[in-house]
Homo-oligomer: A and B are copies of this chain.
Amino acid sequence: MSALSEFDIIRVYFQKNTVKRGDVVLGIGDDAALLQCAPDQLLVAATDTLIENVHFPKETRAEDIAYKALAVNLSDLAAMGAEPLWFLLALTLPTADARWLEAFSQGLFELARPYDLQLAGGDTTRGPLSITIQVLGRVPSQQALLRSGAQSGDKIYVSGTLGDAGLGLKLCQRGIKLPEEAGQFFLERLHRPQPQIQLGLLLRGGANSAIDLSDGLVADLGHLLTSSQVGARIEVNQLPLSPHLKAALPLEEAQGLALHAGDDYELCFTVPEKEETRLLRQIHAAGFSCTAIGEIRETQGLELVGYSRPLVQAGYRHFP
């Protein structure tokens, strides 16, 4: 049993380790943080909670829990084309375990540091393990990427590869056997999603709309289509699958994961024809991979071409 108070926890594991930014007038240690906003930009705010046994299995390492809790929040900012600046951490712990906290803090700042993202405040309480992060960022007015901007005729793109995190989750849940290296790859994709911040910044002023893939392509693209009041046609054989996923599963099963499994945290975005060449050149020049998977059309609904299984519209639902 540890004698750490919540004040020790904040000071020792969090306040000390965060990067310090010049636009944080007052960080951890008062009733609230004081932050300096840029005059010509919009503030971008998102929050996401991860809960033990809901968002991650009980055995997940503390550094991975922290990494993912921050990554899923950053992913929301990426989908807006925003630059992350600051975050708040509400951490609920059953006990104050120094080793666990050390690892958690390390995973958290491992992701925060390269983005020069400062932990500016938070709250530590006792209870069932749960992490809520609120991330704050900025985007120039008029340049934010919305779900509602897709236009008929836009090409639909996704970044990276899809379905890998879905197989990672199956590995955790069912103990599927895979060669060591492949297993590691899928677990890494599940536990350490890479928020597509840099790609989001590139898409500003080029893409018509964007969303991040947290609940699965069909579900999340569905939100984008609803917001934009349009439909889409997806070429299932164009879905980008990793070599590991293609090796691990029959094609149709791999495609099923790419369509319906969540947790990839890639971006799905739509691009008007006139911007396509320029934008793709920039994306590839910056070293990002993205793949055209279909097209936005006026007729509402989502058509999957080249896929014989029945379409499951829902992604993960918390209250089935």
Contacts and interface: CB of A to CB of B under 8 A. Distances in A.
Interface of A: 2, 4-6, 9, 25-26, 29-37, 39, 42-49, 51-55, 75-77, 79-80, 82, 86, 88-90, 92-93, 95-96, 120-128, 130, 132, 134, 136-137, 139, 141, 144, 146-148, 210-212, 227, 317-319
20 contacts: A6-B317, A6-B318, A26-B144, A26-B146, A31-B80, A31-B210, A32-B77, A32-B80, A33-B45, A37-B37, A45-B134, A47-B88, A49-B92, A51-B127, A51-B128, A53-B127, A54-B126, A54-B127, A128-B128, A132-B132
A31 B79 CA distance: 7
B43 A319 contact: no
A42 B211 CA distance: 30
Contacts of A121: 45-47
Contacts of A319: 2, 4-6, 9, 93, 95-96, 126
A49 B134 CA distance: 12
**Copies of this chain, count:** 2
Given A31-B76, A32-B46, 19 more contacts: A6-B318, A6-B319, A25-B144, A30-B148, A31-B46, A31-B80, A32-B137, A34-B44, A34-B144, A35-B44, A43-B43, A46-B121, A47-B122, A48-B90, A49-B90, A51-B126, A96-B318, A125-B318, A130-B130
Contact of A34 (B79, B80, B211): B80
Given A47-B122, A96-B319, A127-B128, A29 B227 contact: yes
A25 B31 CA distance: 27
B31 A42 contact: no
B88 A134 contact: yes
Contact of A42 (B34, B76, B147, B210): B34
A124 B316 CA distance: 12
B46 A33 contact: yes
A30 B146 contact: yes
Nearest to A42: B34
A44 B51 contact: no
A131 to B, nearest CB: 10
A82 B26 CA distance: 14
Q: Which of A33, A86, A210 has the most CB of B within 10 A?
A: A33
A126 to B, nearest CB: 4
A65 to B, nearest CB: 14
A123 to B, nearest CB: 5
B34 A92 contact: no
A196 to B, nearest CB: 12
Contacts of A127: 51-54, 128, 130
B30 A147 contact: yes
B45 A32 contact: yes
Contacts of A92: 49, 51, 130
